[in-house]
């Protein structure tokens, strides 16, 4: 349904009086993946690794520097769009199939608009319905996301964080999209509310046959919701696999370190040794030579300093970018 090939986004770094371009921040530097209809792909990584930029490139909030984004919306037989090549006018009809749910439910809703205006706006903008028909659709969406129809005339300040996130979800889904990009949708919420929203997203996926690109940094949340998981480090994918396989047996040392850093809220520590990564995420405007992860990798060898590993298919549905993926025996998160 979605095929991303060699996607790149470089932001120019300028300096001086005439804003001379001195270098580029390689926020996304050659990312390839596909999304099947109805699946959830989790995208994880530390802040600054480029995961949000990938989401925004697919939404075409940014124009990619290079690469194609081939998208086949459902409901249009045989239609295929290269999102990267379309201009704003051509994008407009396609955009109804792509929707986004944002991280912060407090800043992503206009405080001066009622819930009817907020949720109904996509319909109105696309000229799809108005008046009482629009109101009926909004009421239907409110019911679907578990809010009471009476709330329709209220303003965002009257709602809690969890309710606001439900409003954001209703707004994203009212156009019946094919692909929903959820950028950290639950990281601003308390655990009990987080559980409600995760359940809602799963329920809606089944009801409406949605495909999710789920961007998050919480590995427990990602495991729960995702069918497949992609791990990003400094603008590149380092590993992509089925969620269960990735958590049970990671192939990239970075994935192993991420998994070991998660604290499990349980009495017995099923997990083994905690790997504390030294240093910080590499600077995307001046990445290290060879494998970007080598300065922090405890398995790094000479080859890692010189050669940049490519993302390779090492087993069925398993992709990893590490020279020694097949030799290393890495520890996963305990699965019972």
Nearer to other proteins, 95 or 184 (CB): 184
Tokens of 5: 């090939």
Nearer to other proteins, 17 or 265 (CB): 265
Task: Answer for the pair 51, 24: CB distance below 8 angstroms, yes or no.
Answer: no
Nearer to other proteins, 79 or 158 (CB): 158
Nearer to other proteins, 128 or 275 (CB): 275
CB of 273 to other proteins, least distance (A): 12
Kindly provide the b/e burial profile for residues 259-279, where b requires at least 16 CB atoms within 10 angstroms of the residue's own CB: bbeeeeeeeeeebeeebebee
d(CA 227, CA 329): 23
The secondary structure of 207-272 as a DSSP string is: HHT-EEEEE-S-HHHHHHH-SEEEEEETTEEEEEEEHHHHHHS--SHHHHHHHHTPPP-SSS--S-
CB of 50 to other proteins, least distance (A): 14
d(CA 264, CA 234): 26
CB of 75 to other proteins, least distance (A): 28
CB of 66 to other proteins, least distance (A): 28
- Alpha carbon separation from 245 to 2, 163, 226, 236, 315 (Å, rounded): 22, 34, 12, 20, 11
Residues near other proteins, by CB under 8 A: 46-47, 160, 162, 190-196, 198-199, 202, 217-221, 223-225, 244, 247, 257-271, 274-278, 280-281, 333-336
CB of 36 to other proteins, least distance (A): 20
Nearer to other proteins, 77 or 278 (CB): 278
CB of 52 to other proteins, least distance (A): 13
Nearer to other proteins, 151 or 247 (CB): 247
CB of 279 to other proteins, least distance (A): 9
Task: Answer for the pair 210, 1: CB distance below 8 angstroms, yes or no.
Answer: no
Nearer to other proteins, 98 or 170 (CB): 170
The secondary structure of 4-66 as a DSSP string is: EEEEEEEEEEEETTTTEEEEEEEEEEEEEEEE-TT-EEEEE--TTSSHHHHHHHHTTSS--SE
């Amino acid at each position: 349904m979605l095929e991303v090939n060699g996607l790149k986004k470089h932001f120019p770094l300028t300096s001086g009086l005439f804003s001379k371009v001195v270098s580029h921040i390689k926020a996304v530097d050659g990312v390839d993946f596909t999304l099947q209809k109805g699946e959830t792909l989790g995208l994880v990584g530390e802040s600054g690794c480029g995961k949000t930029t990938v989401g925004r490139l697919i939404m075409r909030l940014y124009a990619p520097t290079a690469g194609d984004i081939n998208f086949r919306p459902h409901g249009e037989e045989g239609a295929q769009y290269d999102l990267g090549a379309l201009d704003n006018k051509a994008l407009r009809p396609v955009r109804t199939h792509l929707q986004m749910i944002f991280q912060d439910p407090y800043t992503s809703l206009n405080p001066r608009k009622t819930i009817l205006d907020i949720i109904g706006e996509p319909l109105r903008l696309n000229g799809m319905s108005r008046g009482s028909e629009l109101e009926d659709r909004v009421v239907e969406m409110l019911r679907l996301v578990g809010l009471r129809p009476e709330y329709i005339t209220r303003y965002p300040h009257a709602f809690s964080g969890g309710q606001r996130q439900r409003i954001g979800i209703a707004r994203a889904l009212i156009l019946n999209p094919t692909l929903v990009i959820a950028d950290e949708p639950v990281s601003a919420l308390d655990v009990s509310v987080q559980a409600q929203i995760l359940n809602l997203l799963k329920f809606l996926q089944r009801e409406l046959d949605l495909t999710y690109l789920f961007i998050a940094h919480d590995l427990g949340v990602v495991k729960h919701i995702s069918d497949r998981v992609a791990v990003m480090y400094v603008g590149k994918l380092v590993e992509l696999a089925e969620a269960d396989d990735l958590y049970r047996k990671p192939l990239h040392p970075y994935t192993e370190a991420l998994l070991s850093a998660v604290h499990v809220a349980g009495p017995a520590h099923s997990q083994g040794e905690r790997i504390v990564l030294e240093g910080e995420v590499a600077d995307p405007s001046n990445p290290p030579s060879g494998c970007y992860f080598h300065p922090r990798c405890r398995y790094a060898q000479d080859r890692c300093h010189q050669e940049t590993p490519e993302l390779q298919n090492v087993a069925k549905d398993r992709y990893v970018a590490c020279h020694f993926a097949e030799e290393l025996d890495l520890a996963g998160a305990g699965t019972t």
